[in-house]
Structure 1
Amino acid sequence: MFSNKALWKLMAPLAFDQLLNSMMGTVGTMVVSNLGSAAISAVSLVDAINVLIVQAFYALAAGGTVVCSQYLGCKKEKEANEAARQLLFITFVLSVVIAAICLAANGPLLRLIFGEVEPQVMKYSRQYFIISAISYPFIALYDDGSSIFRAQENSKTPMMISLCANILNLILNILFVWGFHMEVIGSATATMLSRAFSMIAVLCLLRRPELIIRLRGYLSIRPIWSQIRRILYLGIPSGIENSMFQFGKLAIQSTVSMMGTAAIAAQGMTNILENLNGILAIGIGVGLMTVVGECMGAGRKDEAAYYIKKMTAVSEVVVIASCLLIFALVHPITIFGGMEAKSAKMCIFMVGCITIAKPIVWSLAFIPAYGFRAAGDVKFTMVTSALIMWFCRVTLAMFLARVLGFGPIAVWIGMFTDWSVRAIIYSIRFKSGKWMEHQVI
């Protein structure tokens, strides 16, 4: 059993780390928002693509976390070390390939996804997208490194790296955008350099000899396909799940992009604030994967079920507090961000709706699924998530927006419906116990 102190030691830094990772992009958006609606619209459009790709990398890293934590749960340290090396290898290869594709076809990709937007928005979008693509390998390898630390119940080290990277990002954003007047290029460059710092720091710290999983000789890593398949078995379904989720957001974003610059800016800021009021709870879910992974690796299934229930209850308290805090801050945030009055009004209204709906169903809709994935029940969560997202979130939102003319709030009505259905299905799955019937290692 994990003591309350051990859980707190794992979960608190993880929650704060998730907040810091989210702030990496938020800082840039807040700084850029003072350049006008075209700049913030461009950043919000490209960030929708960035999140899609970053979530795919994160899913692979999470697959590695599960494999490593289950090996550690049954005291197989050598296999855990080799799994970590293979995680770095496959993630690096995939991230370089994806970055190259995005660099070569950035313009066509933006037009394919978002259609014809205003020329100034497209100009800023291409600038931001090109520099973002360069940072993809940095993001992927940092995610791997932080996941390897988490598998060893060490969430403090990634948190400290994120803290330093965020301070660096803030300084560079202010320097490049407001000091050197580099506009969107300055913000993107600041974030890219901060992510490069994160990657270098985490890979250097993983060399420490006192670690259970310690990585050296990165250039000597060669593929071991049995380990890679095990990681991909967990990572690909989670990656598809996350990607489908983000594809749905892109489909919705394409609808919002036809509502005008004010609606794009309002939706972009609302997305950021909704992410912030759930990010601490997501940190709890990420930590739950390590806990459940170790329990399942050691054959302690009853403990795994206990921790899923316990962490879902804890996340509910966190979500309520976070929603109330963000709602209290939304008005001054729109002022600080220099949002136009029409955009600010829409944003405040949508955040108010989120504050009411999110505490009711969000925790049940997301936290148990982290435990299911750690137990190897990845296909069920993938299929469930994809079907609910497309039928409830995307279809309903597009119908309300395009047919009934609801405006940006249609996005959130679809979102609330998605959360509710998901919460019901995952509650039934948890009670059935079928999520325990899988074998990872």
Structure 2
Amino acid sequence: MQKVKDNNTKNMTTGNSMSQIVLFFLPLLWGNLFQQVYSLVDSIIVGKGISDKALAAVGASGTLNFLILGFVVGMTRGFGILFSQSFGKEDYGLLRAYIRGAKRLCITISLILTVVCIISLKKIFVFMQTPSDIIKDAYIYFVIILAGIVITVMNNLTITILQSLGDSKTPLSAMIISSLANIAMDIFFVMGLKIGVAGAAIATVLAQVFSFIYCFYKIRKLDIFNKKDRHDLGDYTDANIGLDLVKIGIPVAFMNSITAAGGLILQYFVNLMGSGYVAAYSACMKFASLFEQFGMSVGLSMMTFVGQNMGAGKFDRIRRGVRQGLLLSTIINIPLALLQILFPEQLARIFLSDPVIISYCKEFLPVLGISIFALGWLFVYRYSVQGLGNTFVPMLSGALEVIMRLSVCFIIGRYSFRGIALSEVSAWIGAFVMLMITYYVVIGIKARSSQEKNYN
């Protein structure tokens, strides 16, 4: 059987599982944190280089951006499950067939999304009651982002391919390159050429091109994609490959979009409380988004680890790896929990200056801090279940999160800001319990099925 010769790709089906998980996790974490820092710098450039209204226009498309791009990013991540499973069982013909099928699906779905979204974009902004003084800039910005969806999706696909093969270092390098390029082009287009929000959007799309080219180059250098073997897809038909990809990728895509919709519910209730609470909520969720990157990075590591070992049929190794993932998640969340519980005022002052608004954050952040462990465990179980090949239940867990947020908001969330926080963490806890039970059921079924197959 042909082997992969590359220093960054890793077969995670042998060796010390904890060290493999940690070494895969660290580049993922640094990449995600770097992206958060870039996002902050990008906002500063738009706000200072153009105007506060320009920043509001870019922000007005944020939720819509999350809904649409979250869908396509989730789709490519779902495809990665099949990549890692075929890599784990060393069936490189199947791996190449899945990648070719994924490329075709990504291009097709991206083009359809681009056309549909551009046609309906103005109506969507009106429906979302986007203020009239920023709707023009919001439309210009997002039309350009939509025009680059194909590039964004293909970039995420190449990143997913590399991560599925155990390489988290190359995507980190690509993310650093694209982020630095994005900042440089932001400065050039926005502050140099002064072409407004269009410049920020162009910079974002072009930065994706840099990342895609770098990752694509690295993939082409792998032995399993050399000229001799590139068109050897084994005995796999395009129809079966396409069906496999759709069955596992689309539920992950919908899960991301459903989760994004859940955030809209809380935002709606916060908006009813007034601008002071909106400012406090925005600050608190910036920290929530930053701190969740740690647990999410552990979860993404587990998806690759579980996927490869699922392909190799090593269920005892999967169980051991998941326990180690839970331990790692717990350890890294301890300081993050203490920060939110003990120093909420100091954290809030990073973004806010009004003592009254800061006091709102003191109600909110400790609730998130206490519950951050459940969020970390949720990521471990969600991505482990996906690595086992089950993406339907994780999609349902996204729907459960929406239901929990809506229910708790109606009961207590609309009466207090702390109630909003409890609505958020109730979604974490509900999904965590659901996915924990699912993981133990699914791995038990998969292990028994594998044993029976081997016995027969």
What do you get for the CA RMSD once the two structures are aligned? 3.4
2-structure distance, mates of 1:350, 1:191 = 36
Asked if 1:248 is matched to 2:257, the reply is: no
Conservation of the 8 A alpha-carbon contact between 1:69 and 1:294: yes
| 2:94 matched residue in structure 1 | 79
Conservation of the 8 A alpha-carbon contact between 2:186 and 2:203: yes
| 1:94 matched residue in structure 2 | 109
One-letter identity of the residue aligned with 1:77 = Y
| 1:397 matched residue in structure 2 | 409
| 1:236 matched residue in structure 2 | 250
The Cα of 1:74 is off from its aligned counterpart by 1.4
| 1:109 matched residue in structure 2 | 124
Conservation of the 8 A alpha-carbon contact between 2:368 and 2:421: no
The Cα of 1:206 is off from its aligned counterpart by 1.8
Q: Deviations over 1:189-246 (max 9, x none)?
A: 32222122222322233211x343569999xx9x922112111111111112111111
Farther-moved stretch of structure 1 (250-259 vs 40-49) = 250-259
1:104-183 equivalence runs, <5 A: 104-112=119-127, 114=128, 116-183=129-196
Secondary structure (helix, strand or coil) at the match of 2:328 reads: helix
1-structure distance, mates of 2:363, 2:192 = 34
| 1:42 matched residue in structure 2 | 57
Conservation of the 8 A alpha-carbon contact between 2:338 and 2:369: no
| 1:271 matched residue in structure 2 | 285
Secondary structure (helix, strand or coil) at the match of 1:376 reads: coil
One-letter identity of the residue aligned with 1:101 = V
Conservation of the 8 A alpha-carbon contact between 2:385 and 2:435: no
1:251-400 equivalence runs, <5 A: 251-257=265-271, 263-322=277-336, 330-331=347-348, 333-334=350-351, 341=354, 345=358, 348-349=361-362, 352-353=365-366, 355-386=368-399, 388-397=400-409, 400=412
One-letter identity of the residue aligned with 2:438 = R
TM-score w.r.t. length of structure 1:
0.85
Q: 1:227 aligns with which of 241, 244, 263?
A: 241
**Residues 1:360 and 1:88: Cα distance change in structure 2 (over 3 Å):** same
Secondary structure (helix, strand or coil) at the match of 1:420 reads: helix
Asked if 1:212 is matched to 2:227, the reply is: no
Q: Deviations over 1:354-380 (max 9, x none)?
A: 552333421222211100011012222
2-structure distance, mates of 1:41, 1:382 = 31
Farther-moved stretch of structure 1 (129-138 vs 276-285) = 129-138
Asked if 1:425 is matched to 2:431, the reply is: no
Q: Deviations over 1:163-205 (max 9, x none)?
A: 1111112223334444444443333332222122222322233
The Cα of 1:351 is off from its aligned counterpart by 6.1
Q: Deviations over 1:288-331 (max 9, x none)?
A: 11110111111111211211121122122223334556868744
The Cα of 1:11 is off from its aligned counterpart by 1.7
Conservation of the 8 A alpha-carbon contact between 1:46 and 1:129: yes
Secondary structure (helix, strand or coil) at the match of 1:120 reads: coil
The Cα of 1:85 is off from its aligned counterpart by 1.6
2-structure distance, mates of 1:324, 1:40 = 32
Q: 1:20 aligns with which of 15, 21, 34?
A: 34
1-structure distance, mates of 2:66, 2:290 = 14
Larger Rg: 2
Secondary structure (helix, strand or coil) at the match of 1:75 reads: coil
The Cα of 1:37 is off from its aligned counterpart by 5.6
Farther-moved stretch of structure 1 (41-50 vs 239-248) = 41-50
Farther-moved stretch of structure 1 (30-39 vs 303-312) = 30-39
**Residues 1:342 and 1:211: Cα distance change in structure 2 (over 3 Å):** farther
Farther-moved stretch of structure 1 (160-169 vs 128-137) = 128-137
2-structure distance, mates of 1:431, 1:144 = 29
The Cα of 1:17 is off from its aligned counterpart by 2.1
1-structure distance, mates of 2:211, 2:92 = 26
The Cα of 1:257 is off from its aligned counterpart by 4.8
2-structure distance, mates of 1:267, 1:429 = 32
One-letter identity of the residue aligned with 1:313 = L
Structure 2: which 5+ runs fail to align?
1-13, 451-456
Secondary structure (helix, strand or coil) at the match of 1:105 reads: helix
Conservation of the 8 A alpha-carbon contact between 1:25 and 1:191: no
Secondary structure (helix, strand or coil) at the match of 1:194 reads: helix
One-letter identity of the residue aligned with 2:365 = G
**Residues 1:340 and 1:332: Cα distance change in structure 2 (over 3 Å):** closer
Asked if 1:69 is matched to 2:69, the reply is: no
One-letter identity of the residue aligned with 1:396 = V
Secondary structure (helix, strand or coil) at the match of 2:133 reads: helix
Conservation of the 8 A alpha-carbon contact between 2:265 and 2:405: no
2-structure distance, mates of 1:93, 1:11 = 32
Give the number of aligned pairs: 428
One-letter identity of the residue aligned with 1:51 = F
Conservation of the 8 A alpha-carbon contact between 2:29 and 2:297: yes
One-letter identity of the residue aligned with 2:425 = F
One-letter identity of the residue aligned with 2:174 = I
1-structure distance, mates of 2:362, 2:55 = 19
1:49-68 equivalence runs, <5 A: 49-68=64-83
One-letter identity of the residue aligned with 1:422 = A
Conservation of the 8 A alpha-carbon contact between 1:85 and 1:215: no
| 2:422 matched residue in structure 1 | 413
Q: 1:202 aligns with which of 215, 220, 224?
A: 215
Q: 1:188 aligns with which of 178, 198, 201?
A: 201
Conservation of the 8 A alpha-carbon contact between 2:378 and 2:428: yes
One-letter identity of the residue aligned with 1:295 = N
